[in-house]
Structure 1
Amino acid sequence: MAAVEYEAVRRAFSKYNQDLLVGKITHREIWDDVCAAMRCKIDFSLLEQAFLSTPANDVMLALARRLKPKYALGIITDNKKDRIDCLRMSQDLDAVFNPIVVSAEVGSGKDSAAVFEYALHCLDLRPEESIFIDNNPENMIVPKALGMGVIFHDDEKNDLGKLVTVLTEEFLIRLD
């Protein structure tokens, strides 16, 4: 099989991205069109393998496991449903996080209050009783406006020490 340039893949998916994020379509539904746009036929199982190859953030998962006995932990993700389903299974995310709120299932991204309100409802929490951690400052605008605590975590630097300091000093989260 010939290699497919990243830019060709990006272009082939670009017109579907928003609909994938809010659950109007799935990767399987658009796969033939995406392959046509890339001018090659790729078995769908390769996309699933790509999803499964997403590395786990082991230090973040270890922190979550430390917090789990004392705190409710959830995930709010603006991810595609079929991708997050693969990651939930392969990384056993449901053992640590409940709820896992996926924009594609709620029909709303992080630019809308609906996804945050849904997560708060699932946990029976008020906004001021919660902390939202994200790697994109733009995703913090809505939860902050709702009254949620917000923390920016640069996932490329993945400075867990800094995150722990903010959690313990600014939000008085106990890790012991």
Structure 2
Amino acid sequence: MIKNIIFDFGDVFINLDKEATYKELYKLGVEHISEEMMQVYYNYEMGLMSTEEFIEYFYNEFKIDKEDLVKAWNAILLDFPLHRLAFLKELAESKKYRLFLLSNTNDLHISWIQNDWGEELYSEFKNCFEKFYLSHEINFRKPNHNIYEFVLNENNLKPEETIFIDDTSDNTNAAKELGIHVWNNEPGKDDVVELLKREEFTV
């Protein structure tokens, strides 16, 4: 029986254009994404470097205007369909499940979301969850096993009573290896509002 639901953020609640940042960076002269750049990104996403250090890295490497870099970095972020918020609020108000958010999110992205949505909407969303885990605040990132173990252990969750929803198969596969039920939610095909129709909730 499912008692706990762990949600991803991007392409589960907020829509993303995952190619947009690469396209915008290319226009700014970043023609190749190196392993070093990816490691910098991972470190930033885990909160192991500050926003200032992250921006400075790209400025030093490519002489990109800092404001242009921030715009390019946030180009991935799109709209938040409010029918998903309505679903989430109804789910939270039912009190049938413990709800958690677990997202690979960096400081620039979450700051953009807070400004774009406004404080009231952001708080309304965040308050639906018992815990709101952002990778840059807890120093872990998906799909590493330790991020799932951290959430399970901190909240005394049993994997067999928990389902994790994420749009990236690497992330759901890693959670599944720990015995957590998963739904690899595919953007454009699936919508999180269909969650309770899944077999895990109907048996």
TM range (shorter): 0.7 to 0.9
Distance 1:30 1:6, change over 3 A: closer
Kindly, what percent of the aligned residue pairs are identical? 22
Distance 1:42 1:106, change over 3 A: closer
Distance 1:83 1:98, change over 3 A: farther
Distance 1:144 1:14, change over 3 A: closer
What corresponds to 1:172 in structure 2?
202
The AA in structure 2 aligned to 1:148 is: I
Distance 1:26 1:127, change over 3 A: same
Q: How many residues align?
A: 168
The AA in structure 2 aligned to 1:30 is: F
Instruction: Please give the TM-score of this superposition, normalised by the length of structure 1.
Output: 0.74
Which moved further from structure 2: 58-67 or 10-19?
10-19
Distance 1:50 1:101, change over 3 A: same
Runs of 4 or more consecutive aligned structure 1 residues displaced over 6 Å after TM superposition: none
Q: Structure 2, unaligned stretches of length 5 or more?
A: 1-22
Q: Structure 1, unaligned stretches of length 5 or more?
A: none
* TM-superposed deviation, 1:67: 0.9
Residues 4-153 of structure 1 correspond to what in structure 2 (within 5 A)? 5-7=24-26, 8=29, 11=33, 14=38, 16-43=40-67, 47=71, 50=74, 54-69=78-93, 70=95, 71-87=97-113, 90=117, 91-92=122-123, 93-153=125-185
Distance 1:40 1:148, change over 3 A: closer
Distance 1:85 1:130 in 2: 29
